[in-house]
Amino acid sequence: MRITFNTFSTSPSMGSKKETTRRAKKENELSSYLDTLKQSKTATVSPLPLMKSINPNNRNVFDTFTKIDDVTREINFVRSKESWDNCLLEEMEEFTIARLEYEQSPTKQNYDHMEEEMGDIFYTAASIAKNTGINPEEAFRSTNRKFFNRINVMDRMLKLRSNGENKDLKACTDSERRALWNAAKRKIYDVQSMQYLADA
């Protein structure tokens, strides 16, 4: 996600001398803020009141995302559901290009670019979730549970099929792992479906 800032040239025709001076001062402030970004990729500019209470380096990334996303809605930057979907595809394409660039030339700059594009995918996906009424943190937590449970069921199914052999998942072939994954997925789905029916 690339954003380009264009500043306006100052000339007497644009207004009074006072206005020209004020504009020049604002442009110098913007240049100063942008200069701080040269220090490191974790550098941030000084926030104006709109973003004053937000710390982008907060370890709770979903809390920070929610606050920033609220601001984007406040300034009417929120997209339609269709445009968000297109945006996600666009970000995925940009990440693929950045990854290929890094594979061809594994420099720090290319790595940072690849990491940035992956972050754009996360942010866009979280925005889509929020726009749909889904809590992105809960969705991620749910997926963590799903993978945790599915791999544990795979491991137990393997032990049952091994007839006493001490075989583990790391020793399986790709096709064996895929078969176990699909079998575990079906078993867990069946169990959870029964629970939904019981709760209905």
**Can you give the pLDDT at residue 25?**
78
Q: Where are the beta strands (DSSP E) in the chain?
A: none
Instruction: Classify burial at 43, counting beta carbons within 10 Å of its beta carbon; exposed 0-12, middle 13-18, buried 19 or more.
Output: exposed
**Tens digit of each residue's pLDDT (9 = 90 or more) over 60-78:** 888 888 888 888 777 776 6
Q: Is the pLDDT of residue 3 over 60?
A: no
Q: What is the CA radius of gyration of the chain?
A: 25
**Tens digit of each residue's pLDDT (9 = 90 or more) over 111-169:** 999 999 999 999 999 988 988 899 999 999 999 999 998 888 888 888 887 776 677 88
As a whole-number percent, the residues of the chain with pLDDT over 70 amount to 77
Residue pair 30/7 in contact by the 8 Å Cβ criterion = yes
- Using pLDDT thresholds of 50, 70 and 90, give the confidence band for residue 79: low
Calculate the average pLDDT of the chain. Answer: 80
Q: Is the pLDDT of residue 81 over 80?
A: no
- Those residues whose C-beta lies under 8 Å from the C-beta of residue 197, and which sit 6 or more positions away, are none
Distances in Å between the alpha carbon of 75 and those of 13, 68, 92, 133, 163? 31, 11, 25, 20, 63
The answer to pTM > 0.75 is: no
Residue pair 104/33 in contact by the 8 Å Cβ criterion = no
- Using pLDDT thresholds of 50, 70 and 90, give the confidence band for residue 7: very low
Q: Is the pLDDT of residue 22 over 50?
A: yes
- Using pLDDT thresholds of 50, 70 and 90, give the confidence band for residue 5: very low
- Using pLDDT thresholds of 50, 70 and 90, give the confidence band for residue 43: low
**Can you give the pLDDT at residue 8?**
47
